[in-house]
């Protein structure tokens, strides 16, 4: 099953128009979704996925 970066706590949006998406866990920015880059480069689904906290779960 593919990882949805938009639901991951490590995903972030950058100001770089050439690389608008990033992953804090792996430390890179990219044009594609980070999970796609991880899968293409390693052949394995992203192992660093952590779900974002829901609004009601934040402290």
| 58 contacts: CB under 8 Å, gap ≥ 6 | none
Per-residue pLDDT of the chain (59 residues; tens, 9 = 90+): 688 999 999 999 999 999 999 999 999 999 999 999 999 999 999 999 999 987 766 55
* 29: helix, strand or coil: strand
| DSSP run (H or E) holding 39 | helix 34-42
CA-CA distance, 44 to 54, in Å (whole number)?
27
């Amino acid at each position: 099953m593919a990882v949805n970066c938009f639901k991951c706590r490590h995903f972030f949006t950058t100001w770089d128009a050439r690389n608008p998406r990033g992953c804090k866990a792996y430390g890179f920015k990219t044009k594609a979704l980070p999970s796609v880059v991880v899968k293409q480069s390693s052949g394995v689904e992203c192992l660093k996925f952590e779900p974002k906290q829901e609004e009601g779960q934040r402290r």
